[in-house]
Amino acid sequence: MKVVSLEDVKNSENNVEGGNWISRRLILKKDNMGYSVHDTIIKAGTETHIWYQNHLESVYCIEGEGEVVTLKDNKVWPIEKDTLYALDENDEHLLRAKTDMRMVCVFNPAVAGTEVHDENGVYPVAED
């Protein structure tokens, strides 16, 4: 069994800042669960280009308001508290935060913990 405190993660190397966001990584590849879980803050007034070519992600908004724009069709998806969106096709998208947004993110495969988006909005695959 593993118990993780958000407060402990905030004061560790698993608190990763990416400019428009802060990701507190709670469960990582090293935990051998097959996925990773992140508590992420998306900063108000930001737009982030993301394209997880190597990962599938589900995102549950627990605070705030914003939108996701899928770039293949320019469709705008409103996101607010108690809304989940799943990037089930490695969707290239823009994440826009109207207010600070707090999100619970689940990645498959799991991330190692230090990843940040590259110039294309991609996380690399964690090596074994």
Let me know: does 106 contact 25? Beta carbons within 8 Å: no
11: its two tokens: 């004061």
Radius of gyration of the chain (CA): 14
Q: What is the DSSP letter of 14?
A: T
98-116 confidence digits (pLDDT tens): 999 999 999 999 988 766 6
> Which superfamily does 6-108 belong to?
Jelly Rolls (2.60.120.10)
Let me know: does 79 contact 65? Beta carbons within 8 Å: yes
Report the pLDDT value the prediction gives residue 16, as an integer from 0 to 100. 92
What's the predicted TM-score (pTM) here? 0.88
Residue whose entry in the numeric block shows the structure tokens 């990582």: 28
How far is residue 107's CA from residue 67's CA, in Å, rounded to a whole number? 20
25-40 confidence digits (pLDDT tens): 999 999 999 999 999 9
Let me know: does 70 contact 94? Beta carbons within 8 Å: no
